[in-house]
Structure 1
């Protein structure tokens, strides 16, 4: 099999790490790989903060919901959408920087593309990774801790380190539920959800020795039956983003 595809297919979220620091050459390789990700019009509207300081990792773990693996991993990366740099570049030429929802999306997507490149690079080097969306639980405190300027925000974090566990791969939705030819097929989505519910019911049953009997759609219901992180928009507006 193509080695790149093999790395991608072996992805698992790692939530337990050995206390081993990453060598600088590996950090360089991961960040250089992140920088080679596609970016809209070459704006490169993201910044990556690498955190190795134990005290800062401990505080980030607390702010993200007491996720201990942030403290354990050899390197914690925080991927930030960054319009601050673009504003500075525009003002170098005496112009006013204009931004709106589109530029906000561009920065968020740029950060995400860079992060996935970093994840694949890290896994190709034998490390485990875990995305940390919990960084948005307390985004203002995270911004203060990392000294982020206006027009930046932490999109998510990523643990990187030497794995100290071998979790099984979690099944994904059937291909026909996510890949459609020429047009969106709602019937295939419905069928795919039903099939995936059966798959995940068996997965949870086996993984927990029968203690958890649930489905994917039930988990989605529990997550989205009520609003989540309602503080995000006021936070973003306070950071100077214009969502219009």
Structure 2
């Protein structure tokens, strides 16, 4: 393919540039064939050493979605979306593969990271593929509120946990949210080496931009709309029990 100095817009680029989190869906279902196509497209995602250390659990059952919604802190969109996908890290198959050859899977932090990263990559590909055909999506990290219960609801074997959930549905365009400002590119894109220039001025600018966004939505947060929220939210450890639970579920951090 000849190289050019310009990039022609594609459905994938449009999906990425136009991304917003969708929490309000129409009542229209998503056909099984569409879901299958999206899942198989996502399965072409990169995977470390061809391990493919992930699994995707498709949930349509309304009762099960309602239980998952409760687990996620009563997030109604988990129950209301037509299709919920549990994006899972999975070392169960790797254990079986090793056993087939009389060996034992050497589990450690690296394998746990690989499985989690593999799951994140395939889930992101699935989200982008869905948005490229007009679907909306929202990722549900609070599936990690109770990994054991989530695993029980989904019948997960030892060696599998839900990294996050993904709600899919056709967006209610009347309730489509405005795009939220992202951090300035100067803070997140570095060339040749990481820039250690004081980020405070750009962080303050982002605080102001985000405050304007939230004020338009009627959410009158303090002016430190990003730094203040991050400081408040992450000044104490989140889910400090998670490591012990995941080790119980068959993962290692050694």
Count of residue pairs the alignment pairs up: 243
Please show how residues 5-20 of structure 1 align to structure 2 within 5 Å: 5-20=13-28
Q: What is the distance in 2 between the residues matched to 1:95 and 1:211? A: 58
Extract unaligned runs of 5+ from structure 1.
Answer: none
Change (3 A) 1:74 1:188: farther
* 2:9 corresponds to 1:2: yes
Q: What is the distance in 1 between the residues matched to 2:211 and 2:110? A: 39
Aligned position for 1:194: 204
Change (3 A) 1:188 1:181: farther
- Kept after mapping to 1: 8 A contact 2:42/2:126: yes
- Kept after mapping to 2: 8 A contact 1:128/1:162: yes
* 2:235 corresponds to 1:228: no
Aligned position for 1:178: 188
Residue 188 of structure 1, CA deviation: 5.4
Q: What is the distance in 1 between the residues matched to 2:201 and 2:92? A: 45
The SS at the match of 1:226 is coil
The SS at the match of 2:16 is helix
* 2:109 corresponds to 1:101: yes
Extract unaligned runs of 5+ from structure 2.
Answer: 1-7
Q: What is the distance in 2 between the residues matched to 1:90 and 1:7? A: 39
Q: What is the distance in 1 between the residues matched to 2:151 and 2:79? A: 18
Superposed CA deviations along residues 60-84 of structure 1, whole A, max 9, x for unmatched, are 0000000000111110000010000
The SS at the match of 1:186 is coil
Residue 100 of structure 1, CA deviation: 0.2
The runs of 4+ residues in structure 1 deviating greater than 2 Å are: 188-192, 210-214
TM-score by length of 1: 0.96
